[in-house]
Amino acid sequence: MLKVVFFDFGGTLMSIESDEKAHYHLMESVKNKYNLNETIDALLEKYRYYTHSYPTPMEYRKAFGKGNIMNAFMKILRNKKPDYEWFWDEYLKMHRKHVRLYAGAVEALSWVKRNNFHLGMISDIDTDYLFDQLNALEIMNLFDSITTSEEAGFRKPDKRIFNTALEKAECTGNESIYIGDKMDRDVAGGKNVGMKAILFSNDHVNTSCDCPDFITDRLDKIPDIIKRMMR
């Protein structure tokens, strides 16, 4: 019996385009504060490179949000002294200002709550940022549980972050559904602990042993998909 519906945040509920806009304006602030010669686009490219550079799979699994972000900030400044407190405040401010939810997100979350399912979140995003963003978007109160990689000690698709979320929700994998936008992290990770998985994606997806139970490009279709999965 279905008891719990888990959502990913970045790229699933949170619009990737709006997140990119927030990062663009963040780099604009960095450029202006430190009088850097590089273009905003060049700074953004460096920032993305440094936040996604993991020499080993283990380092990737343990690279948690805030520390990784601060490390990238330090590297793009080179020899200039980084003001970490300013940068983090600016990071949060730009995301509050620019980040938006995908169409249908609030409706899907509200439907889950109205139908008395436990509503959970499993995210690799830094805990402080995630809570700040959920409050800014006015959806924090909808969630019964929130699990982050920072809290669990491992990133998706590691089983341990999913098991931490299941323990919080007091359910088993076969009593839950996970909705995310990444095949390798969300779908594979959820399926590995027995969850049903819905892939939120606009792209064509090749089937594999880790294929999702459903694929949708619209969050407002989630209620009908869940109803079909419960039959």
pLDDT tens track of the chain, all 231 residues? Answer: 999 999 999 999 999 999 999 999 999 999 999 999 999 999 999 999 998 875 555 555 555 578 889 999 999 998 899 999 999 999 999 999 999 999 999 999 999 999 999 999 999 988 999 999 999 999 999 999 999 998 999 999 999 999 999 999 999 999 999 999 999 999 999 999 999 999 999 765 554 556 899 999 999 999 999 999 988
Q: Which position has the token pair 């550079």? A: 53
Q: Which position has the token pair 């604009």? A: 28
| pLDDT at residue number 56 | 54
Cα separation, 160 vs 162, in Å, equals 5
Name which of 96, 118, 115 is nearest 14 in CA terms. 96
Listing DSSP states for 149-194 in one string gives HHHHSS-TT-HHHHHHHHHHHT--GGGEEEEES-IIIIIHHHHHTT
Domain spanning 4-15+100-229: CATH superfamily: HAD superfamily/HAD-like (3.40.50.1000)
**Residue 103: burial class (beta carbons within 10 Å; 0-12, 13-18, 19+):** exposed
Give yes or no for a contact between 87 and 77, defined as CB atoms under 8 angstroms apart: no
**178 contact partners, CB below 8 Å, separation of at least 6:** 6, 7, 8, 122, 162, 186, 187, 189, 190, 195, 196, 197, 198
The domain ranges of the chain are 4-15+100-229, 17-98
Residue type, 78: R
Name which of 14, 201, 4 is nearest 125 in CA terms. 14
Name which of 135, 190, 185 is nearest 166 in CA terms. 190
**Residue 217: burial class (beta carbons within 10 Å; 0-12, 13-18, 19+):** exposed
The two structure tokens encoding residue 75 = 């590297």
